[in-house]
Amino acid sequence: MQAYMKSAMPYLGVPNGPRSTICKAVFADLSWPDSAAWQVGVLAIWRGAQFRELRYCALTLSAVRAAGAFQTMDALPMYEEMIVDGAWWDYVDEIATNRLGPILRGDPAGMKPVMLQWARGENMWKARSAILCQLHSKAGTDRHFLMACIAPSLASKEFFLRKAIGWALRHFARTDPGWVRAYVAENEAVLSSLSKREALKHIGGAG
């Protein structure tokens, strides 16, 4: 797993199933008086981790039901730290789609300016997060916001940004395939082959 993930941090060798079972048992009765206390717990595991599975445990703790009320803009600095420090797709994609996404849907006015700033910034993983943050929004996807998050990365040579563009478009194609076809056609000259291929993977080209 360490070789597959190209991870500098070693693995213990605990598969996802047993790890999830352990986390469920350990975290079952936890509660926190406020968001700050919850974040202290999550970051203690994240920062102290010597093995990659422990960081996965921190991600699990960040999403337990007891922390549902804390998934707000107040949690964004914590998630930003985890994205920047983690700097790899296994952490970043989980945070972008399943942590930032719910915050965005709950507080679009607060989140959109921040995500646009991330999209235009120099950190690739924050830009990828901005592109992917609407992945599960389905019919609630803001098309103009999606385009604005993609636009700064259109000319990028980075694989992970090109892949994120294609993935975001492919996912939204389940909801509005016509819009995705039109977007790809309109941006034919600037979209990478990877992004186009991913975007049209299940819907084909124009027509």
Residues ≥6 apart with Cβ < 8 Å to 164: 128, 131, 132, 153
Q: Using CA atoms, how far apart are residues 26 and 4, in angstroms rounded to an integer?
A: 28
| 71-102 as b/e: b if 16+ CB within 10 A | beeebbebbbebbeebebeebbbbbbbebbbb
Of 148, 127, 133, 136, nearest to 172 by C-alpha is 136
At residue 207, the pLDDT reads 43
The single-letter DSSP state of residue 30 is -
pTM: 0.95
Could you state, in order of their start, the residue ranges of all structural domains in the chain?
1-70, 71-207
CA angle 184, 143, 73 (to 5 degrees): 130
At residue 204, the pLDDT reads 79
- Options 1.25.10.90, 2.30.110.10, 3.40.190.10, 1.10.150.120; CATH for 71-207 is 1.25.10.90
Within the chain, which residues score under 50 in pLDDT? 207
At residue 185, the pLDDT reads 97
